[in-house]
Structure 1
Amino acid sequence: MMKGFIRNSRRGPAHSWWVALGLMILLTACTVKDSDGPVGSDDAVGPAQSGHGDWQVPGLVDRSGAPIEVKKPGPATGRTLDVTNFGADPAPDSHDDAAAIRKALDAAEPGDEVVLPAGTYDLRSTDPADESANIVLRSGVSLRGEGRERTVLLTSLNGEDDSRVIRGSGVHDVIVADFTITSRHNGPLGDDPDDGDVGGGPMYGIHLGAHKGKGSSRVLVENVGIRRFERHGISVKASREVTLSGNYISEATAVGPGGQGYGVAIEGSADQHDPDAANDSRHNVVIGNTFDGRHLRHAILLQFPTHNNLVAENTIVGSYLDAIDLHGEGEYLNEVRDNTVIGGQRAGIALGNPGGSKNKHDASGPGNWVHSNDLIGNRQGILVILGTPETLIEDNRITAGEDSKAGIDVRNAPGTELLGNHITGGTDEFWAIRLSKDRGTDGRGIGIPSGIRIKSNVIRQAGNGIRIDAGENLSMVENVVDGIDGAELRVADGIEMSQSARRSRAQTKKVE
C-alpha cells in the first residue's frame, strides 16, 4: 500500500521528495503541444440539467447539447510590426518601452501582428486613455514575443487599484503569445492565506473583459508566463470563446482573502443571469496550462454564473486553498477533465465555497461534470459542499497521501453522483468516500447529503473505504472495496440505504 509519500510544507523529507517530483512534472509540462484547431469535448454525455433556460448539458456544447468548436482567432494575414522600429529597446533597464509598444499597436490594422523581439521591455508608463494599464489590446491585432523565456515584459506597476499590464475590453480576434509578464516587485511572495494586507506588483497580468455590455471573444492567450502579480495572473470576465493554452503561472505576491493570488479566473458578472446577453460568460477554455502553486491561493477559479466552460489537461503542483475551485456563486454546467493536481493543501477540485468578503459564497450551480482527473496527495481529492446540486463525479483517479482526509468528500450536495472513480492510498484517518452533514457558513448551505448515488467505484489499498455519517435517499451499488487497512464501510445509526446497497462488496464489513 502507498502510504505517507507526501507531506505538507515544512514536515520533512517525504514532502521534499514529492515536491521535487512535482516540480519535475511542472518543468516537463511547460512545453505543451499546440492544439490542432478549436478545442471540443469528445462526448456530449453528462447529466441533463434544468433551471437555466434551455442550456442542459455540460461542457462545450450549444443549447441543444450538440458539441461545438470554440472559435479561435486566425493567424496574422497582414503586416508584421516590430516594436523596436517604434523606439522600443530590448536591453534591460532601458527607458520606458511601453509607449513604443502602444505606438506599434496604434499603427496596426486588423490582421496585423505586433512583434516583441527577444529581450526585456521596461513598462514604466500607462496608456494615456487608461491609467490602470500599460498596454491596451486592439481587436484583430495580435501581440507576440519570440518565446516565453526570451521576451520579458517588466512592469513598474506596484499595488495600484485595478492595475493591469495588458488589458482587453470588448476585443475580439486577438492572439497574445510567447512572452513573460513580471514586475519589479522584489518583496516576499504570498504565503499566508489569512493576510490580506500584503502584496505588490500589478493586480492583474492580463485582464480580458467587456466594454459597453459586450464581452471579449475569440481571444487566444498562449505560451505566456506570468509571475509577481497580486490578484489574478489571467482574468477573464463576462466574456466568451477565450482560450488559455500552454501558459505558466506562478509567484503571486499575495494569497489573502478578497481575490488575491488566483492563477486563472474565469468569471461571469455578479448581476448577470441572462444567457442571451452579449456578456454572458461561457465557452471559455483553460487547457494545457501549468501552475506552480507554492504561492497561489487557487490555481484555476470559476466564479459567478459562468457556464459551459472547459478546464482540461492542466498541471497544478500545490496551492494554499482548493486548486481548481468553482467558487460558490452559481457556476453551472462546466466540464473539468483530465487535470493533474498534486500536493494541494486543501481540495484538488472543489465545488462550493464558504468564504467571500464582498460577495458571500455558498453553492456552485447544477450540472457540473468532473471526470478523468488525476488527483494526488491533496487534503481532499474532490469536495462538494453548501448545497451544490447535481454534480457528476466520474472516472477520477485519486491517490491519497499522508495528510489526505478524503478522496471524495460530499456534504450538502443534492443529486451528486459518484461513478467509476478509482481511489487508493492514505493513512488510518483517510476515507476514500465520505458523506457527512454540512455545517454551512454563516447560516448558508446547512444540510445533509441527499439523493446521492455511489456506483462502480473501485477502492483498493486505502486507509479506509466508505463512511456515511449523514444522509437520506442514498444509493450504493457495485462498488469494489478491498485491500483496506481499516474499515471497508461505516454507516451511522439510523441511516437507511437503498436495497441496492446490499449488493456492494463494501457491505461485507459494515461497522456501526
Structure 2
Amino acid sequence: MKKSIALFSLICLSLWFCLSARHGSLQAEESIFHYPVIDVTASVHDGNVPENTLDDNLSTRWSAQGIGQWIQYDLGSRQQLGYLGLGFYNGDIRSTTVDIELSIDGEEWNKVVEQQESSGTSINLEAFDFADQEARFVRIIGYGNSRNDWNSITAAHIYPPNPDGPIVEELEAIDPGPVPDADPFTKAGLYYPDKTPYTPPSPHPVTGKTIHVTDFGADLRDNSNDDTLAINAAIQAAEPGDEVYFPNGTYNLKGTMENDFTSHIYLKDEVNLRGETKTGVLLISDFDMREVPNSKVMTAYGKKDLTISNLTITSTFDGNYSENPSENNPDRGGPAYGIFIADSAGQPSHHITVSNITIEKFQRMGVRIEKSNRNTVEHATFKNATDVGGGGAGYGVGIQGIQGIDRLGHANDTYFNVVKNSHFEGPYLRHGTLIQNYAHNNLVEHNTYQGVIHDAVDLHGQREYLNEIRHNHLDDIPRGGIGVGNTGGTPPNSHSASGSGNYIHHNTLKDTRDGIIVMMGSPGTVIENNKIMHTSTPPNAKGIYLLNAPGTLVKNNKIVNNNAEGFWGIFIAEDDGDTRNGGKGAGIPKNILVEKNKLIGNTNGIRVEAGKEITIKDNIIRRTAGEDYINLIGDESISQALVPSDDALIDFEKPDVNYGVMDQDLIDTGDPDRNFYKYFNIKQNSAGSKGRMALYQFDLHDLEEIESAELQLTGKTGSNTSSVTLAVYGILNNEWQEDTITWRSAPNVGSEKVEITGIGDSAFYLGAITVDQSEPTLHELDVTAFVEEYGTEAISFLVADIQGQNGNVNIYSKEETNETRSPALYITTKP
C-alpha cells in the first residue's frame, strides 16, 4: 500500500512540474500540488485531534497546550520537500511560533525552521520555506502564540520545491451552513421538523457485568495515590453493556490520558459509570485551569449510549471564592470542565445521560455539551464554581454548537439535549444553564435556580433558536432571571441576538431582577404563563423587560407583589446595543403583543418608552402603588382591566343580609382570605320571594375615547346545580354604598320578589351568562354600548337570576388568593 502511495506521489509531482513549465508560476487561487499524508500523530491534543489538519477546513484544528508540543506527518516514502503551508487557529488576531524538523527515518531529525512566527494577520495558509531536501517525516513543534501557550493548527500542506518560490493555496474559509435539503425545525422544544414529538430514551441499561475500579487498583482513601490509571484501566477492560462501579470512597485524580494531557478520564461507548452513592463517591481532580486551561475530569468525544450516575466531581481547589461577575477571580482554579461531551471528526456524542451527580469546584462549566445531540442531564447539582467573571466562567450546564455556523442537517448539529430536575446553587455560579451558537430545540425544565448571580437561564445571544424553557423555579437571582440575547464577547463573533422562536413558559421567578429579558434584536420570543413575584430588591427591576425584541409575544403571565423601588411589571424600551462592539444589537421594539397578563400589587405596571406596532390589550392591572400604565409613544389602542371601585362590589340577600361587607370576626382569624366571603352566591327560591343578587360599580374618571368595554365574571356552579343563567343589567344609579346596601335599599330591585324594575328607564338589559361548569370558568359580556352611552364618572351593573332556577352559582369576589378571578371591566381606549 505504501509503495502505491509513493508511486502516486511521484506521478503527481511529475504532473506538477509539467504544469509549472507550461503555465509558468501558479497563482495562489489555483490548485497547487502538495503531498498526500498517510498518517498524522501528535504529542498530545485536547480533543481537537491531529487529523483535523488534513481536511482543509479552517474551522477545525489540532490543539495542544504547552511549549514543545508537536504534530508529525508521515508521507509514506521519501520525497523531495521545498516548503510548508500552515494555517493557524485565530491566525488573524495572533501570531504563532513554530520549529519545523524533517526526518528520513523518523529517528534522526534535522531542524530546518527555527522559531518562525506566523504573520498574525491571516487565517489562511502561510508559507514556511526552507532549503530543498529529501524527507519522509515532517514534525512541527509549537512555542505557543502571542496570547498564550496554546498551539493550534487548522491546516497543513507539504509541498515539493517550486522554482518560482513558495506558493500556497488560498483555502476557502467555508461556512458549511445548513445542509441544503435539510428540513427546518418549526416548533420549539423536543419536536422534529414535521412537529412529531421526540421522546428521550431511558438511561442506557446495564446488560453485561459490573466491573469494580478497586479490582484495578483504585484506592478508596484520600491520600497521595493517583487513581486515574486504575479507573481508565477499568473502563478499557469493559465491554459494551458493562458498567464500571465506584464503591463509596475518595478517588484522587492526578494523571491524564496518554495523548490528551487535558483529560483525566475518557468515556467509552455503551459503558456506564456508576457510583455507590452521590455523596459517598468523590472524584477529586488536581487540575488547575490556570496551568491547564482546557482541563476536563471526564471527556466524551463522539461517544454514545452511556450513563454517568451517583457520584460527585470536585477538585483540590482551596482558594477564595468570588461573587463579582465584573472581574475574574484571581484565586480561580480547579478543572475547566467537570464533564465534557463533544463531537469527534464531525460525529456527535449522543444518548449520554448524566444523572444524580454533583459537580463543584470547576472554573468554566460543570457539564459542557458541544456539537452533540440527544443527551440528558438530570437530578444533578451544580455549585461552587471557582470563578464567575467574564469569558465563560462559572456555568452549570452549557449547550452549544459552532460559533457563527448553523449545522442544521449535519450529524453534529446541537439539538434535543435536555436539562431537567436539577439544582443550580449560587452564589458561586454565573449562569445555571446556558444555550448558544445555533443550538436549537433543546429543553430546560423542572430545574431550580437559587441565588445564581447572572441570568440563571441564559440564551447567550448567538442565534440559538426554538429552545424551550419551562416549569423552572428561579429564586433570589440578583442580576437577571431568564435572558434572551446578550452583549459582550470578542469580534467578529461577539454576542448579539438569540435566534427566533424560543419559548419561555410556566416558570416561577421570585425576587429576580429583570425576571425575563429579551434584548439585542432577538426575534419571535414567546413568553407566557410565567409567574414573577415578590421582587423586593434591587431598585428599578423589571418583571418582563423588552429591548429591541421584535415579534415578542407576552401573554397570560402573572406579575404579582413586586414592591422593589422603581419596579415595573412590563417595560418596553429602545436598546442601545453593545456599546463595546459598535452598538451591535441596537434598535427599537417592533410588532410586540402584550395581552391578558395580570399585574397585581406591584410598584408600577406597564411602561412603553419606544417602539412601533406595539399592542397592549386585555391586561389586568390592580393595586399598583405607583403608575398602572405609561405609554410614551401613543400610537396604539390600550386595553386595561378596571376592578370594582372601593365600597362598590356587593352580594346582598332579601331581606337585609349583606354578604359583601367586611366581617370583623373573620378578619380577627388572621387569614386575609377570610376577610370576605369567598364567593358571591347568586340564587333564588322557586317563588322568587327570597334570593341573592350582586352589584358592581367601576370608576371611569380617567378614561376618555372608549372604544370597547367587556364585563368579565369568573364563576362556577354550586352544590346540586348543573346550570344557571344569569341576567346582567346596566343601571344608572351609582349612589349606592357597599356597607349600607340591602334588598330594601338596592336600586332597581323589586320589593316583594326577585324582579328588576325601571327597565328601559334606569335599568337596561345587557345580556346573560350561563354558568354550567364546576370548575372556575371565565364569562365575558360585551357592554360597550351601555358604557359609551351612560359611562361618565362611574358605571354600575346588576346581576340576578330572574328565571327562578333555584340553583347556586358562585361568582368569585374579593379574597386575595383568587384576586385574578374577581369581577373586571375591560376597557379599550381609542388611539
Q: Please, what TM-score do these two structures have when normalized by structure 2?
A: 0.54
Match of 1:453 among 593, 604, 607: 593
* Residue equivalent to 2:469: 336
* Residue equivalent to 1:206: 339
* Residue equivalent to 1:240: 373
In the alignment, the residues of structure 2 paired with residue 502 and residue 292 of structure 1 have an alpha-carbon distance, to the nearest angstrom, of 40
Deviation, 1:144, is 0.7
- More displaced, 314-323 or 397-406? 397-406
Q: Name the SS of the counterpart of 1:62 in structure 2.
A: coil
Deviation, 1:427, is 3.0
* Residues 153-302 of structure 1 aligned to structure 2 (within 5 Å): 153-159=283-289, 160-196=292-328, 198=330, 199-302=332-435
* Residue equivalent to 2:478: 345
Deviation, 1:211, is 0.4
Deviation, 1:505, is 4.4
> Do the aligned partners of 2:522 and 2:548 also contact (CA within 8 Å) in 1?
yes
> Do the aligned partners of 2:343 and 2:349 also contact (CA within 8 Å) in 1?
yes
C-alpha deviations, 1:133-158, integer Å up to 9, x for none?
11000011011101110100011111
> Do the aligned partners of 2:487 and 2:577 also contact (CA within 8 Å) in 1?
yes
C-alpha deviations, 1:117-169, integer Å up to 9, x for none?
00000111011121111100001101110111010001111121210000001
Deviation, 1:73, is 4.0
Deviation, 1:226, is 0.6
Deviation, 1:110, is 0.6
* Residue equivalent to 1:70: 200
C-alpha deviations, 1:210-231, integer Å up to 9, x for none?
0010110000000110110110
In the alignment, the residues of structure 2 paired with residue 242 and residue 468 of structure 1 have an alpha-carbon distance, to the nearest angstrom, of 41
* Residue equivalent to 2:436: 303
> Do the aligned partners of 1:117 and 1:146 also contact (CA within 8 Å) in 2?
yes
Relative distance call for 1:81 and 1:509 in structure 2 (3 A) is: farther
Gaps of 5+ in 1: 1-51
Q: Name the SS of the counterpart of 2:366 in structure 1.
A: strand
Match of 1:489 among 618, 629, 633: 629
> Do the aligned partners of 1:121 and 1:153 also contact (CA within 8 Å) in 2?
yes
Q: Name the SS of the counterpart of 1:99 in structure 2.
A: helix
> Do the aligned partners of 2:322 and 2:329 also contact (CA within 8 Å) in 1?
no
In the alignment, the residues of structure 2 paired with residue 74 and residue 227 of structure 1 have an alpha-carbon distance, to the nearest angstrom, of 25
Match of 1:420 among 556, 572, 577: 556
Match of 2:235 among 100, 105, 109: 105
Relative distance call for 1:212 and 1:503 in structure 2 (3 A) is: same
* Residue equivalent to 1:82: 212
* Higher strand proportion (structure 1 or 2): 2
- More displaced, 400-409 or 281-290? 400-409
Deviation, 1:495, is 2.9
> Do the aligned partners of 1:428 and 1:486 also contact (CA within 8 Å) in 2?
no
Q: Name the SS of the counterpart of 1:240 in structure 2.
A: coil
The aligned amino acid for 1:189 is Y
In the alignment, the residues of structure 2 paired with residue 218 and residue 173 of structure 1 have an alpha-carbon distance, to the nearest angstrom, of 5
Aligned length: 459
* Residue equivalent to 2:513: 379
In the alignment, the residues of structure 2 paired with residue 336 and residue 508 of structure 1 have an alpha-carbon distance, to the nearest angstrom, of 42
The aligned amino acid for 1:458 is K
> Do the aligned partners of 1:72 and 1:241 also contact (CA within 8 Å) in 2?
no
The aligned amino acid for 1:100 is A
In the alignment, the residues of structure 2 paired with residue 466 and residue 313 of structure 1 have an alpha-carbon distance, to the nearest angstrom, of 29
* Residue equivalent to 2:189: 59
Q: Name the SS of the counterpart of 2:393 in structure 1.
A: coil
* Residue equivalent to 1:434: 571
Q: Name the SS of the counterpart of 2:230 in structure 1.
A: helix
In the alignment, the residues of structure 2 paired with residue 207 and residue 83 of structure 1 have an alpha-carbon distance, to the nearest angstrom, of 21
Deviation, 1:94, is 4.5
Moved beyond 4 Å, runs of 4+ = 503-511
Q: Name the SS of the counterpart of 2:269 in structure 1.
A: coil
The aligned amino acid for 1:349 is I
The higher-RCO structure (CA 8 Å, 6+ apart) is: 1
The aligned amino acid for 2:356 is N
In the alignment, the residues of structure 1 paired with residue 329 and residue 381 of structure 2 have an alpha-carbon distance, to the nearest angstrom, of 26
> Do the aligned partners of 2:249 and 2:281 also contact (CA within 8 Å) in 1?
yes
* Residue equivalent to 1:314: 447
In the alignment, the residues of structure 2 paired with residue 191 and residue 484 of structure 1 have an alpha-carbon distance, to the nearest angstrom, of 34
> Do the aligned partners of 2:620 and 2:640 also contact (CA within 8 Å) in 1?
no
Aligned-residue sequence identity (percent) comes to 38
Q: Please, what TM-score do these two structures have when normalized by structure 1?
A: 0.87
* Residue equivalent to 1:20: none
> Do the aligned partners of 1:428 and 1:485 also contact (CA within 8 Å) in 2?
no
- More displaced, 263-272 or 389-398? 263-272
C-alpha deviations, 1:65-110, integer Å up to 9, x for none?
1111023443110010000000001111141111000000000011
C-alpha deviations, 1:172-215, integer Å up to 9, x for none?
00100100000001001232212236310000011000001011
Deviation, 1:256, is 1.2
The aligned amino acid for 1:389 is P
* Residue equivalent to 1:355: 488
* Residue equivalent to 2:532: 398
Q: Name the SS of the counterpart of 2:427 in structure 1.
A: helix
